[in-house]
A and B are shown apart, each in its own frame.
Chain A
Amino acid sequence: MLNFTKIKIFFIYLVFISISIFCLSNFSQIDQYLFKKKINLGLDLQGGSYLLLEVDSSPLQKRHLQSKVIPLKKKLIENKIKFKNFKILDNEISFNISNDEINKFEKFFNNKKNNDINLYLDKYRSYEFDFRNINNRILISHSKSGIINLNTSAVDQSIEIVRRRIDETGTKEPSILKRGSNRILVELPGVKDPERIKELLGKTAQLSFKMVTANTSEFGNESFILKDTQEKIIVSKRIIITGDNLIDAKPRFDNINQEPIVAFTLNRLGSQRFGQATSQNIGKRIAIILDNEAISAPVIRDSITGGQGTISGNFTFQAATDLALLLRSGALPAPLSVVEERTVGPDLGQDSIEAGVVSLFVGFILVIIFMIIKYRVFGIIANIALISNLLMLLGFLTLIEATLTLPGIAGIILTVGMAVDANVLIFERIKEELRQENSNNIQAFDNGFKRSIITILDANITTLIASIILFIFGSGPVKGFAVTLSIGLVTTLFSAYYISRHLTSFILFKNREKKLFS
Chain B
Amino acid sequence: MKKQYIFNFVSKFKLANSISLFLMLASIILVLFKGLNFGIDFKGGTLMELRVASDNVSIGDIRSSFSKLNLGDLNVKEFGKKGDYLIKFEMKEFNDQMNLKIIKETVTNNLNTEVNFRRIENVGPKVSTELLNSGILAISLALGAMLFYIWIRFEWQFSLGSITAIFHDVLITLGIFSLLSLEVNLSIVAAVLTIVGYSMNDTVVIYDRIRENLSKFSSLNISEISNISINETLSRTVITSVTTLLALFSIFLLGGSILKGFSFAMIVGVIIGTYSSIFVAAPILKYLNVSYKTIEKEKEKN
Q: State the B residues within 8 Å of A (CB).
A: 49, 94, 100-101, 116-124, 126-127, 131, 134-135, 137-138, 141-142, 145-146, 149-150, 153, 186-187, 189-190, 193-194, 196-198, 200-202, 204-205, 208-209, 212, 232-233, 235-236, 239-240, 242-248, 250-251, 253-256, 258-259, 262-263, 266
Contact = CB atoms under 8 A, between A and B. Distances in A.
A421 B235 CA distance: 11
Interface in A444-476: 451, 454-455, 458-467, 469-470, 472-476
B102 to A, nearest CB: 10
B3 to A, nearest CB: 9
A343 interface: yes
Given A374-B239, A462-B197, A473 B49 contact: no
Interface stretch (A146-154, A248-256, A334-342): A334-342
A478 B185 CA distance: 11
Contacts of B240: 418, 420-421, 424
A466 B149 contact: no
Nearest to B186: A478
B254 A362 contact: yes
A344 interface: yes
B251 to A, nearest CB: 5
Contacts of A348: 49, 118-119
Contact of A462 (B149, B209, B243, B253): B149
Contact of B263 (A44, A364, A410, A473): A410
B255 A467 contact: no
B146 A466 contact: yes
Nearest to A455: B208
Task: Pick the 10 closest A-B CB pairs, nearest first.
Answer: A417-B247, A355-B256, A463-B197, A363-B250, A466-B197, A473-B138, A417-B244, A363-B247, A359-B254, A348-B118
8 contacts: A345-B118, A363-B251, A407-B190, A418-B198, A455-B209, A465-B149, A470-B142, A481-B187
B255 A356 contact: yes
B250 A477 contact: no
Nearest to A340: B127
Given A54-B126, A455-B205, 15 more contacts: A344-B118, A344-B119, A407-B259, A409-B255, A410-B251, A414-B247, A414-B248, A425-B205, A454-B208, A455-B204, A462-B204, A464-B197, A465-B197, A469-B145, A474-B190
A139 B187 CA distance: 47
A424 B190 contact: no
Nearest to B212: A451
A341 B242 CA distance: 39
Contact of B187 (A347, A413, A477): A477
A347 B94 CA distance: 26
Contacts of A461: 149
B190 A478 contact: yes
Interface string A479-491: 0011001000000
